[in-house]
């Protein structure tokens, strides 16, 4: 069975380590408050030099002058320095896992070993173990206190962001989590995955990406939907480069994950702690969005009553992009029109496009695929429901995306073509295939980094074909 073993410097004996840590914590309040991780690490180095000596007999000499110092060998000092920074600056025993770019999720289901999801090897047990409920509770109480979302018996469920942007969900109370406190960390990538990287991985085709490019550039409202860990937020971040660079983008989230590259970006997050009157819900953020005149509203996740405000924004001419939990267009409409969201079925066509993601094991590998792209035409009373049409479907036999909407796309012909000034709506398909060629060329030229992709897209928006760094 596969196992993930963390290899790190052995700690020194607990008694001396605790003494050193306590001495540093006693001195720290008298120092200038560090404003960055680098300053925090530098402060620890400085304080460590004050409380530790590597000179044999130095501890005795320092006591003669009224200064207590603990003797360590140079090798012990390096080990202490590593563990102090891991415990005081980083997130303790989980720090090595957060540094591995191949780890997607970290799972603790209670007392016992942690598990993780590896991009290559899938779910694996680790050698990091919480042995008692008390140890786990103390760790989570300290961690959530440091990031400003303290977990307690009175507040047993906490959603928060770690300093590196990763998403943390904690279930603290043993009345709720019966095997002991539990938590999940969804790793965050500093630089979002680009649309061309997703094409190279086969998540979606260049034609699907070109369709989304036209849709986003022309202000269509889009929900990216799927089950947990299906790549919804990854795809959302990837297509944000298609929003015209000079547009104002407004993001509303519970935990900050969406990263538009636009200079005019108004970033807001909910505030769930504090007195009732000071809390800010997703509903409040979306109501505020209607008064701030954004060109695009991005919602981290639509779950409840805030959906009504999102649809109100669409009705008033503010396009919305969001992630949503539903595995098909039918289930999406059922969730939107059912309790607790309760969008009137006649309003559903304010949403233009549903993109559906799925994570799966395919031919022995763990992959994510855009399994369908669905257009919403609207409610037809005579047909007794909402009319939708699939423009793209993933074919699992050949691992290809089939363009079923060729010369049959409602959104392309009725919505986008008029906005682009085409006298013949079918010319929009030529534009789609041209942009698909651009994306394929970018993959061929290994233009896969997010910021490199952004530069090509922005130059194309400004200068057209002449702005491209290659011939198409």
* pLDDT tens column, 109-123: 999 999 999 988 889
Please say if the pLDDT value at position 46 is more than 70.
yes
Q: Which of 190, 277, 180 is nearest to 237 (CA)?
A: 190
Helix (H, G, I), strand (E, B) or coil at 166: coil
Confidence of residue 57 (pLDDT cuts 50, 70, 90): low
The string of DSSP letters for 295-344 reads SEEEES---STHHHHHHHHHHTT--EEEEE--SSHHHHHHHHHSTTT---
pLDDT at 84: 94
Q: Give the integer Cα–Cα distance in Å for 28 and 69.
A: 16
pLDDT at 67: 60
Confidence of residue 334 (pLDDT cuts 50, 70, 90): very high
Q: Give the integer Cα–Cα distance in Å for 229 and 368.
A: 9
Task: From residue 287, give the alpha-carbon distance in Å to each of 80, 310, 343, 439.
Answer: 50, 9, 16, 36
The predicted model gives 428-445 an average pLDDT of 98
pLDDT at 338: 93
Asked whether the bond before 305 is cis by omega within 30 degrees of 0, the reply is no
pLDDT at 61: 44
Please say if the pLDDT value at position 100 is more than 50.
yes
For the entire predicted model, the pTM comes to: 0.82
pLDDT at 266: 96
The model's pLDDT over 218-275, given as tens digits with 9 standing for 90+, comes to 999 999 999 988 999 999 999 999 999 999 999 999 888 899 999 999 999 888 766 7
Please say if the pLDDT value at position 148 is more than 90.
no
Please say if the pLDDT value at position 214 is more than 60.
yes
- Strands 353-362, 167-171: pairing is unpaired
Task: From residue 50, give the alpha-carbon distance in Å to each of 29, 36, 83, 118, 349.
Answer: 15, 21, 17, 41, 67
pLDDT-above-90 percentage for the chain: 74
| Torsion angle of the four alpha carbons 428, 411, 263, 250, in this order, in degrees rounded to the nearest 10 | 170
DSSP class of residue 275 equals -
pLDDT at 66: 47
Confidence of residue 207 (pLDDT cuts 50, 70, 90): very high
Contact 362, 338 (CB under 8 A): no
Q: Which of 80, 78, 20, 88 is nearest to 50 (CA)?
A: 20
Task: From residue 465, give the alpha-carbon distance in Å to each of 11, 64, 196, 437, 462.
Answer: 59, 77, 18, 12, 9
Please say if the pLDDT value at position 279 is more than 90.
no
pLDDT at 183: 97
Q: Give the integer Cα–Cα distance in Å for 409 and 353.
A: 11
Share the mean pLDDT of the chain.
92
Contact 221, 348 (CB under 8 A): no
Kindly give the residue spans of alpha helices, DSSP state H, lying in 218-278: 232-239
Contact 306, 341 (CB under 8 A): no
Go through the domains of the chain in sequence order and give each one's CATH number.
1-89 (no CATH), 97-188 (3.30.450.370), 195-467 (3.40.50.300)
């Amino acid at each position: 069975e596969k196992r993930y073993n963390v290899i790190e410097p052995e700690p020194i004996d607990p008694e001396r380590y605790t003494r050193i840590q306590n001495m540093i914590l006693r001195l720290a309040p008298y120092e200038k408050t560090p404003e960055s991780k680098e300053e925090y690490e530098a402060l620890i180095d400085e304080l460590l030099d004050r409380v530790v000596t590597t000179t044999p007999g130095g501890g005795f000499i320092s006591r003669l002058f009224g200064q207590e110092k603990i003797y360590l060998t140079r090798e012990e000092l390096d080990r202490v320095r590593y563990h102090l920074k891991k415990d005081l600056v980083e997130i303790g025993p989980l720090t090595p896992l957060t540094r591995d770019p191949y780890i997607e999720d970290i799972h603790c289901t209670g007392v016992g070993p942690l598990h993780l999801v590896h991009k290559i090897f899938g779910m694996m047990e680790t050698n990091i173990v919480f042995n008692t409920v008390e140890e786990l509770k103390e760790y989570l109480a300290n961690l959530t206190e440091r990031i400003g979302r303290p977990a307690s018996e009175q507040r047993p469920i906490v959603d928060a962001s770690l300093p590196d942007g990763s998403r943390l969900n904690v279930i603290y109370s043993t009345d709720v989590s019966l095997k002991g406190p539990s938590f999940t960390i969804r790793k965050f990538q500093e630089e979002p995955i680009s649309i061309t990287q997703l094409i190279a991985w086969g998540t979606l085709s260049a034609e699907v990406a070109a369709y989304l490019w036209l849709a986003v550039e022309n202000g269509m409202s889009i929900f990216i939907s799927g089950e947990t860990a299906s790549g919804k937020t990854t795809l959302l971040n990837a297509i944000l480069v298609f929003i015209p660079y000079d547009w104002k983008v407004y993001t509303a989230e519970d935990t900050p994950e969406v990263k538009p590259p636009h200079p005019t970006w108004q970033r807001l997050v909910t505030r769930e702690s504090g007195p009732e009157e000071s809390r800010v819900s997703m509903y409040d953020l979306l109501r505020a969005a209607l008064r701030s005149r954004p060109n695009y509203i991005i919602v981290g996740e639509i779950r409840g009553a805030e959906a009504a405000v999102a649809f109100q924004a669409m009705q008033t001419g503010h396009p919305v992009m969001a992630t949503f939990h539903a595995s098909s267009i039918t289930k999406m409409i059922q969730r939107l029109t059912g309790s607790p969201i309760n969008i009137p079925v006649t309003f559903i066509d304010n949403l233009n496009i549903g993109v559906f993601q799925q994570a799966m094991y395919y031919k022995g590998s763990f992959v994510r695929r855009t399994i369908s792209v669905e257009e919403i035409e609207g409610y037809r009373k005579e047909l007794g429901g909402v009319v939708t049409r699939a423009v793209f479907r993933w074919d699992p036999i050949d691992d290809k995306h089939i363009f079923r909407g060729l010369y049959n796309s409602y959104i392309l012909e009725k919505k986008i073509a008029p906005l682009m000034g085409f006298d013949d709506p079918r010319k929009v398909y030529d534009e789609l295939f041209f942009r698909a060629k651009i994306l394929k060329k970018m993959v061929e030229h290994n233009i896969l980094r997010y910021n490199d992709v952004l530069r090509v897209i922005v130059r194309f928006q400004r200068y057209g074909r002449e702005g491209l760094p290659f011939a198409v």
